[in-house]
Structures are given as C-alpha cells and as structure tokens.
Amino acid sequence: MKKSSVLKMFVIGMITGMVTGCGPRGEQIMIQNARGADYSTGYGDGCASGRYAAGNTEISQRRDTLRYQQSEQYRLGWETGYKECKYRERKIRKRTEKMERANGFEPSTLTLAR
C-alpha cells in the first residue's frame, strides 16, 4: 500500500475518532437531560477540561468556580465529564500514536499526558 493511501486512511480515521470519541454518548445525553441544566453545563465544562488535561491544547479548561462550589449537579456533571473525556482523549491519542508507528511515521507532536 502506498504511503499516501496509508496517510489518507490515517487522516480519515483520526477525524472519525475525534468526531465519535468526543462528546456525550446517547445514554449520557439522556442522563444530562434528566439531571437538568447545571449537570449538562458541568459535564460540558468538565469534558473540555479533561480533554485539555489529556493533552488536547486546542481546547481550554473550563470550570465555573462559584457554580462548582454551590451546585451539586454542576459539580457532579463536571467530575463525570472530566473523567470520561480525559479517558477517551488519552485512548484516541494512544491509538493515533500506535497507528503512526505501525505505518512508518514518527509520532506526531501530540503529547500524551501521563
């Protein structure tokens, strides 16, 4: 297989992984809706922060400190989003690095948070 074909497949795989791996799944969306706006907002903020903590510098950390202290639902959503999205982001990055090495490329500048 030509390197250009491998690279094209790699790019398509990366985009697919990022789109499908970054965001709440169907069950999580139902839970967010059932718990209300504070939980949903907290989940989104925690998710962005978790992805950032895992090395995605294209996203910034977010947390409404006052809301985190005062709203149990925001705090619960933030903690859940942080853990789930940090895990998914690390998984995507590790898979990407493995694919790059398997296809003869040097690992990209994506840094895995350890």
Model confidence pLDDT, tens digit, residues 74-95? 999 999 999 999 999 999 888 8
Instruction: Look at residue 62 and tell me if it is in a domain.
Output: yes
Question: Domain range spanning residue 43?
Answer: 26-102
Q: How many domains, in total, are found in the chain?
A: 1
Instruction: Look at residue 40 and tell me if it is in a domain.
Output: yes
Q: pLDDT in tens for each of the 114 residues of the chain?
A: 555 555 555 555 555 554 444 455 666 666 666 778 899 999 999 999 999 999 898 889 999 999 999 999 999 999 999 999 999 999 988 888 888 888 877 766 544 444
Q: pTM score, two decimals? A: 0.64
Give Cα 106 to chain centroid, integer Å: 23
User: Rounded distance, CA 68 to CA 1, Å?
Assistant: 51
Instruction: Look at residue 21 and tell me if it is in a domain.
Output: no
What number of other Cβ atoms are within 10 A of residue 69's Cβ?
Answer: 9
Instruction: Look at residue 12 and tell me if it is in a domain.
Output: no
Instruction: Look at residue 85 and tell me if it is in a domain.
Output: yes
